[in-house]
Chains A and B, each alone.
Chain A
Amino acid sequence: MTTTTTEPSLTRSRSGAIAIVATIATLSIIGAIGLWQGNSLGKDVAGIPWTIISAGIWLAYGVLLVMLFIRPARRAQLLGLAVVLALAWGGLAATDFAARANGAVEQIVENVSATLDSTWANVFAAPGIEETLKMLGILLLIFLPGARRLGATAGMALGALVAASFQVVENEVYTLQGMLDAPDALGGVMVETLFLRGVVGVFSHVVYSAAIGAAIGWLIAGPRDRRLRRLAATVGVFIVMVVLHTWSNWTAHEEEGIMYLLTMGVGLIVLVATFRFARSQDPIAEVVPDA
């Protein structure tokens, strides 16, 4: 089996690739509009100087998260377009759609039950919703295909990019909402959010999506034998990440101090395991270009 290193195009089907790019771009624009209109990112917060400060802090935080995956991204030879689309999908489409869906689930629980605490709805429903939306971005980018060397490493890097962008925007939205609720304690809100979502949650979204992305990349670009087993394993990874995400949300909901440390520890273990897994699977697939 041979591979080619130069190519005019990475895909046989230009229309399919264009459809993927158009889909991500369109849904990201819809998400951006939704975020602006639905989360007080517009005029309500424009006058708060802390908006800019917090946005800067979270952007820097996101850059640090992405830096963790620079080497894998280079090894996988991610396309520049794929990087941009991953950031757009995670920060705009996935974040906004998740906010809509999570809010709807909370509302449904309130509507159908007078006794259930609707905040628990998000603890249990949001992880499945958010991981699904981030995973769709990974799938689209792998099928673009968004890397010259497809496999676990490419999937991991794409997942991390999608999730890092998701996490930055989500954290900023939470920060702004906290500031709107407590305009007299903006600095305190910033510190508290940084601790809960930045420190305690450092090994959360990015780790979950990196693991799911690695599994998807391994499934799609790996050897063709035992496909069903590999599919089952990938589904298993997704479910485990949703469970971990739920546990993380529960910890934040209950504000259990010792559980914070456990959550961070488990996240770090998953991160290391994902890196080792992706490394063990390289080199794997290279995309065959057009002749």
Chain B
Amino acid sequence: MTIAQVWQPTSRSQWAVVVVSTVVCALLAMGLPRLAEATAPEDTEITAGERIELQGVSVEVPSGWVLPGDAVLMALDKGSAKFLLFPPTADPTPPTEAVVADAANYTDGTVGEAASFTTDGGLAGASIIVTGADGYTTMLYAFSDGTNLVRGQTSAPADDWGAIESEVQSMLVTVEITGVPTS
């Protein structure tokens, strides 16, 4: 046979391929997620009465709140359910009734009114709707234990407020409350 070549993998080459494949898979499937975690900004625990200086705005926050380390810094006034959200990359608006500036995806969007609610378990929370430039809405809401910051996206168009409200209600029902108020 003139064209054919005889090829037979050796045990060593087979084991080498196994090791290389396993290592590469581990790097991609586990190493990269670890790197993502390592580069993520950390949540910040703040104490009662502490004032936080954030991009030139001083905010007093309740105790026990965990500030999420992503693009949104959130504080919640439990008494009147006010939101103060500040993205680290945008110019913050001075705090008013409800000041919202979400991450870059929603800089072109509009902001609805904040609303307060109480869960079946008696945990106070507040929510606000941000409508993105794509016409869809994001529901931002927080609970008074500070550990349950939840953001969910509805699928209803922005002009269908009934559908949004219904969908938001269904999302709230599914939220699992694991913490307890710390103050």
Contacts and interface: CB of A to CB of B under 8 A. Distances in A.
A101 interface: yes
A145 B33 CA distance: 32
A15 B11 contact: yes
Helix, strand, loop or mixed for chain B's interface? helix
Contacts of B11: 12-13, 15-16
B9 interface: yes
B5 A285 contact: yes
Contact of A143 (B3, B9, B36, B155): B9
Nearest to B39: A111
A152 B47 CA distance: 66
Interface of A: 1-3, 11-13, 15-17, 19-20, 23, 27, 34, 93, 96-98, 100-101, 103-105, 107-108, 111-112, 114-115, 129, 132-133, 136, 139-140, 143-145, 150, 181-184, 220-224, 283-288
B7 A16 contact: no
8 contacts: A12-B8, A111-B40, A129-B28, A133-B25, A140-B21, A150-B7, A181-B153, A285-B6
Contacts of A107: 33, 36, 39-40
Given A115-B89, A136-B24, A284-B4, 12 more contacts: A11-B8, A13-B11, A16-B14, A16-B15, A98-B28, A100-B28, A100-B29, A101-B32, A104-B32, A111-B39, A182-B155, A285-B4
Contact of B155 (A93, A114, A183): A183
Contact of A19 (B14, B30, B153): B14
Given A16-B14, A129-B28, A183-B155, A23 B21 contact: yes
Contacts, number: 136
A27 B39 CA distance: 27
Contacts of B20: 136
A2 B39 contact: no
Contacts of A150: 7
A104 B35 contact: yes
Contacts of B15: 16, 19
